């Protein structure tokens, strides 16, 4: 759902924004929008790649120890 709504919203904004500025600046505003959209996507991809590189280290550090639930139930019954 997020992909559909985000894609629709981005397309509508890309169509409508150049109509809101003067005719002489419409092409420049469309180019600026495409450039900044590309930069935003690139930054998010790089941040995700960095997060995936460090995920094994963070996962090991911040996860609580695994305690089997069956052991806890057995102790309560005994």
The per-residue pLDDT for 6 is 81
Confidence band, pLDDT 50/70/90 cuts, at residue 70: low
CA distance 44 to 74: 47
Better pLDDT: 6 or 18 = 18
- Kindly tell me if the per-residue pLDDT of 54 is higher than 80: no
Mean pLDDT across 3-7: 80
Confidence band, pLDDT 50/70/90 cuts, at residue 7: confident
Better pLDDT: 13 or 5 = 13
16: tokens are 């409508």
CA distance 63 to 51: 16
CA distance 12 to 21: 15
- Kindly tell me if the per-residue pLDDT of 64 is higher than 60: no
CA distance 54 to 33: 32
């Amino acid at each position: 759902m997020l992909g559909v709504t985000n894609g629709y919203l981005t397309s509508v904004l890309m169509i409508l924004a150049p109509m809101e500025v003067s005719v002489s600046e419409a092409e420049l505003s469309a180019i600026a929008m495409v450039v900044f959209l590309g930069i935003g996507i690139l930054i998010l991809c790089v941040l995700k790649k960095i997060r995936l590189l460090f995920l094994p280290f963070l996962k090991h550090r911040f996860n609580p120890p695994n305690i089997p639930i069956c052991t806890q139930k057995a102790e309560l019954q005994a």
